[in-house]
Amino acid sequence: MKPKVFVTRVIPEEALNIIAGCCDYEVWESETQAVPRSVLEAKAEDVDGLYTLLTEKVDKPLLDIAPRLKVVSNMAVGFDNIDVDECTKRGILVCNTPGVLTETTADLAWALLMAAARRVTEAERFLRENKWTTWSPMLLTGMDVYGATLGIVGFGRIGQAVARRAKGFGMKVLYYSNTAKPDLEASMGVERATLEDLLRTSDFVSIHVPLTEETRGMIGWRELSMMKQTAVLVNTARGQVVDEQALCRALKEKRIFAAGLDVFDREPLPAGSPLRELDNVVLLPHIGSASVATRTKMAVMAARNLTQALSGERPEHIVNPEVLA
């Protein structure tokens, strides 16, 4: 008998073909609506594998009703939507898609950095709303990027890719991370800093830590208050790393110059979010890795991880390898 799999969204055909090759599968046939929890629960009851997106919460209550489950393959590098400890206790493999989305996500962090610094989306709205009456010396002036200091919080794959791009902009790069990276300091000319020093001295702060118990709320009012009044905050990591209420206040009171956000405390960003009222923030709907090529690679990688796990092979990317030890 083939293993049974539930795929929680429409995925590229290349990826689905990999699953179809060795599994009986069902797909939640929508691109615009996340699978309802009740449907996910009903499917989880008798599947061997779940192919999930970051919109699906794989928590203890779901695992409690999934006795056959052997693998959860997330089509994302982040896996904060999954209770990994509970999976590990049950011998369930958790897989993710690191690496293939690094450069694409770093590109988007830069798009946000540039847009927020130079007020690109605000200026476009201004033009479309027919407010452009004349050229004026200080109209829509922003902050310079070239030669500025960039502080990177979380110096892993994406953080480092963001730093590589900074070279072309003649920037000084500071990083704050769990561990020191002396080789990268030498080869890339970056400097390690405490979080406080990084916040106090950077013109741009870009966040690239995963969401964990340690990083939740890492950037709150206290940290925002340490930043320069001219500084720009970019977040492409996870919304909950930043205290959104505090950020809103900092932007409203012009305690910092601007922010560029791809991720939010609650996604989709609620209609009533006060962030929507502010001109000095660029808001994107979690599209960090959204290029055609990268999303296809992620989908294929997640399909391979899933089928490898279900056919007894070691998946290429495992979050909890101790399950196989």
| Binding-site partner at residue 98 among ligand GLV, ligand NAP, none, CB < 5 to 8 Å by type | ligand NAP
Q: How far is the CB of 116 from ligand NAP (least distance, A)?
A: 15
Which distant-in-sequence residues (6+ apart) come within 8 Å of 264 by Cβ?
239, 244, 273, 275, 286
Q: In 3D, which of 197, 196, 218 has the Cα closest to residue 207? A: 218
Residue 105 is a binding residue for ligand NAP (CB under 6 A): yes
Number of residues that bind ligand NAP (CB under 6 A): 30
178 binds, among ligand GLV, ligand NAP, none (CB under 5 to 8 A by kind): ligand NAP
Which of 64, 214, 253, 316 binds ligand NAP (CB under 6 A)? It is 214
Is 286 marked active-site? yes
Could you count the other beta carbons within 10 Å of the beta carbon of residue 87? 22
Scanning the chain, the segments in alpha helix (DSSP H) are 13-20, 37-44, 60-64, 84-89, 102-117, 120-128, 157-166, 182-188, 195-201, 221-226, 244-252, 292-310
Of these partners, ligand GLV, ligand NAP, none, which one is at the site of residue 208 (CB under 5 to 8 Å by kind)?
ligand NAP
Beta carbon of residue 301, minimum distance to ligand GLV (angstroms, whole number): 11
Amino acid code (one letter) for 134: T
Q: What angle do CA 171, 175, 176 make, to 5 degrees?
A: 155
Question: Choosing from 9, 208, 238, 304, which is the catalytic residue?
Answer: 238
State the binding partner of 262 from ligand NAP, ligand GLV, none, CB within 5 to 8 A by kind: ligand NAP
CA-closest candidate to residue 259, choices 275, 241, 270, 240 = 275
Q: Give the residue among 229, 255, 260 at the shortest CA–CA distance from 121.
A: 260
CB count in 10 Å sphere of residue 138: 5
Binding status of residue 110 toward ligand NAP by CB under 6 A: no
The binder of ligand NAP chosen from 133, 134, 141, 179 (CB under 6 A): 179
Give the residues lining the site for ligand NAP (CB under 6 A): 77-78, 98, 101-102, 105, 154-159, 177-179, 208-212, 214-215, 236-238, 262-263, 286, 288-289
Q: Looking at the annotation, which residues are catalytic?
A: 238, 267, 286
